[in-house]
Each structure stands twice: as structure tokens, then as C-alpha cells.
Amino acid sequence: MNKLAHRKEVDKEGLNLGEIRKDFPILETVVKGNPLVYLDNAASSQMPIQVINRISDYHLSEHSNIHRAVHYLSEKATAEYENSREIVKNFLNIESSKEVIFTRGTTNGINLVCQSYGSKFLKEGDEILISYLEHHANIVPWQLLSEKIGTKLKVIPMTDDGDIDFEAFKKLITKNTKFLSLTHISNALGTVLPIKEMVEYAHEYDIPVLVDGAQSVPHAEVDVRDIDCDFYVFSGHKMCGPSGIGVLYGKSKFLEKMDPYEGGGDMILSVSFEKTVYNKVPYKFEAGTPPIAQAIGLGSAVEYLQEIGMDKINQHEKNLLRYATDELNKIPGVRIIGTAENKAGVISFVIDGVHPHDIGTLLNDDGIAIRTGHHCAQPIMDKYKIPATARASFYLYNTMSEIDKLINGIYSIKKLFGA
């Protein structure tokens, strides 16, 4: 009774879930005789029919190469591609569309900054600061850079709850600290970092800051000018858009000075065998034919999310997180990994006596899709001395009854294992 009352309340104050779920045809998938329960949104979210149709329309009636020819289709494709840049610019409150660079995704964006900024402006002995909560995508590129040019990678520790240790962060800053690269929200634990305060503190020492927003842009309103970070990166496929597209936001003052990332067509003004003149930003960083359909799809995804409202989506996910947390805490032998005060709709857990991969395989029998493993965040697993976790992550189309199915599935697994 209580559960039902709670559910109605959520629907009333939040989203029209019935209508939203109709937008996602894939949610009608049947897995082993059960309706799909998709709880792997932190890895990749699903696309609504509006975005699928937009991409399809592009292929049906707008496709051509951009920024090249004078014919109708090329002009149309160029206009739509550039329109997506405008949509992204407005979505994140970016000052100028010149500061919006289309990439292949978050990983690509971090590597771009690493190479184009890091290789040029960092030198041997300089320190790069990251946190314990990073995805491998924000660890390995900096290690590669350090191997090449001799920079040092330092790591801000986290507390047992999975929060950033802010005092330790302050102490780690030295006169040699020349770059800070941080995740906004941990993909493995759901921790929301106090990113604005950290940027402000770093800027007191003139340290540029990159923020990995792969887990934040899809789930909450992000204002890059309010955060005041120098770079911000995210991916399309975690926010109702297609894979193969992402965005790097960078402040003009940095982008203008940075070297190109890749060489090729579109990123040049003139080429001779003696000297090449690079194009202006953002084109300097978009060599070759970009993922045009994907960029247009991303623009469409942003419009879809905006129409529903990021504040409503965020509130809905908070409700789901609170409900799932309460229910998981009631199950004996289940432990939630990452209990920071400020968390997003990501919940990592372990069951005593059951390996996470067995949890994942058996939940799949019930049609429930979760992620199991180290979530590309092995240092976090090492910190908790576990090989892996099971992770459920929520999005706008998930319902309370789907969480009930997850909870029931966990009870069945415990029974099977006698755990």
C-alpha cells in the first residue's frame, strides 16, 4: 500500500512515465520471456523515437559532406550540423559556439586536451592532479602523456564513503601543479563531486581544470560558465543520443593557443608542401569528415531532454535512487558501495557470497540489465578490496516497479546461493 502511494506521488510530481516510455521502442524488448528492465544507463542510455527519426531523416533527405560543396545537400547538412552546435551551446550555457568542438566521445575529448594542451604547455616535472574516482578514460591518457614528456600524475584520495577528500586535495596542490582533471560524477559509485568549489580553489593557483561530464550532462542541468571550468567533456550515447559523438567545451583563450589534435581536411585554411595554415576554432580540432548524422542526433537528443526538463529528470532519478537505496539496505548481506551524501542515480552493490558476475548473469534471466565488473575504475575496486560490483543506473524512463523487480531478483539469487 505504502509502495503504491509512493509511486503515484512520484508520477504526479515528476514525469509522465507512461508517455515517456512510449518514446523508447527498445523498452518493449522481451528477454527470456520477461519484459526488459534496462538499468545500465551509466554505460549507455537508450534513444527515443524522436532521435531515431531525426537521424533517419538526415540519411533519407539531408546527407552529404559538410563545409565543402556548394550544392543543396551539402548546404543543408552543414546547416543542420552547425545547428546542433548551437543547441549544445545553449544547453550548457556556453558563451560562443566556437567553444563547442564535436568529438567521438568523452574519451576522445580528454585525449584531445591531453595532446593539444598537455603536450604543448606542460613540461617535465609539472604535476597533473586527478582524483581516485576517475574512469580509466581520465587516468590512462594522462599516464601516456607523463610517459612521453615526464609530467607527474598525482591522485586526490577519496573517503571510505566514496567522497572526494577536499582537505587532501588542497594539500596536494603545489607550485608544480599545472593541471587538474576531474570527473563531475563517478560512474562507478555515483558520487557527485563539489566541482564548482574545486574549480574555484584550483583557479586561485591559476591551474586549468578539465571536467569529465559523461555522467552529469545526461542527468542534471550543467552550466559551464557557472562552474567556470576551462574544459568540459561528455558523450552523446549516455544522454539519449547515438554513440560515436561527444563534445569538448573549451574556453576560447585556451583553444586558440592549442595545437591541432589531428591533421587532415576541414581543419586547414590552406595547404602547401611548405606550409599549412590551420582553420579557426572549432574547426581546427575537427579534422576529416565528422560524424555528421551523430552530431545531428545529439542535437535532437538535447532538444528531447530539454522539452521534458532537466530538473524533472534529475528529481525523478533522485526518487528512484532513494527508493532503490532504501530497498537494498533492507536486504541482509547486501552492501551498497559508495555512500556519499551527494549521489546521482547510480548504485553499486555487492552480495555476500555471490560474485557480481553471477548476479548479472542471473538477473539477465529475469530480463534485468545491469552492469557488473570494475566499471573501468579499477582503483576504486582496489580501495574497497573487491574485484567488482553490480551496478544499477537509472534514467528518465525507469520506474519504481522496475526497482521492485531488481529487488525481487536479488532475493531469488540469495535463495539460489543459500547466501
Partner 1 sequence: MGTANLYQEVILDHNKKPRNWGKLSNPTHQAEGFNPLCGDRINLMLEVSHESIVDIAVEGDSCAICKASASMMSATVKGKTVGLAECLVAEFREMVVGDKKKGVSNKLGRLKVFQGIRELPSRVKCAVLPWHTLFAAVNSQNNVTTEGSDDPTS
Rounded Cα–Cα distance for residues 137 and 148 (Å)? 17
Nearest approach, Cβ of residue 357 and partner 1 (Å):
4
Q: Which of 119, 335, 364, 376 binds partner 1 (CB under 8 A)?
A: 364
* Residues contacting residue 66 through CB under 8 Å, at least 6 positions apart: 74, 77, 78, 81, 289, 290, 292
**Residues within window 329-358 making contact with partner 1, judged by CB under 8 A:** 354-358
Q: Which of 49, 144, 362, 369 binds partner 1 (CB under 8 A)?
A: 362
Nearest approach, Cβ of residue 380 and partner 1 (Å):
13
Binding of residue 408 to partner 1 (CB under 8 A): no
Binding of residue 411 to partner 1 (CB under 8 A): no
Q: Which amino acid is at 128?
A: I
Q: Which amino acid is at 1?
A: M
Are 133 and 185 in contact by the 8 Å Cβ rule? The answer is no
Element housing 76 (H / E):
helix 72-91
260-276 in b/e form (b: 16+ CB < 10 A) is bbeeeebbbeeeeeeee
Cell 577519496: give the residue.
158
Q: Check if 229 is active-site.
A: no
Rounded Cα–Cα distance for residues 326 and 289 (Å)? 48
Binding of residue 365 to partner 1 (CB under 8 A): yes
Nearest approach, Cβ of residue 134 and partner 1 (Å):
18
Rounded Cα–Cα distance for residues 194 and 201 (Å)? 11
Binding of residue 196 to partner 1 (CB under 8 A): no
Kindly report the number of other CB atoms within 10 A of residue 206's CB atom: 8
Binding of residue 118 to partner 1 (CB under 8 A): no
Decide whether 151 or 372 has the Cβ nearer to partner 1: 372
Nearest approach, Cβ of residue 382 and partner 1 (Å):
10
Q: Which of 207, 350, 388, 392 binds partner 1 (CB under 8 A)?
A: 388
Q: Which of 265, 309, 379, 387 binds partner 1 (CB under 8 A)?
A: 387
Decide whether 166 or 417 has the Cβ nearer to partner 1: 417
Decide whether 17 or 354 has the Cβ nearer to partner 1: 354
Rounded Cα–Cα distance for residues 35 and 33 (Å)? 7
Residue range at the interface with partner 1 (CB under 8 A); choices 69-77, 118-126, 128-136, 368-376: 368-376
Q: Which of 63, 98, 322, 374 binds partner 1 (CB under 8 A)?
A: 374
Nearest approach, Cβ of residue 356 and partner 1 (Å):
8
- DSSP for 204-220, please give it: HTT--EEEE-TTTTTTS
Task: Give 136-142's long-range contacts (Cβ < 8 A, gap of 24+).
Answer: 136/376, 136/377, 136/378, 137/106, 137/107, 137/110, 137/212, 137/214, 137/376, 138/110, 138/181, 138/182, 138/183, 138/212, 139/379, 141/107, 141/110, 141/111, 141/114, 142/114, 142/118, 142/181
Nearest approach, Cβ of residue 348 and partner 1 (Å):
14
Residue range at the interface with partner 1 (CB under 8 A); choices 214-222, 277-285, 295-303, 380-388: 380-388
Nearest approach, Cβ of residue 363 and partner 1 (Å):
10
Binding of residue 43 to partner 1 (CB under 8 A): no
Contact residues for partner 1 (CB under 8 A)? 354-358, 361-362, 364-365, 372-374, 381, 387-388, 416-418
Residues serving a catalytic function are 376
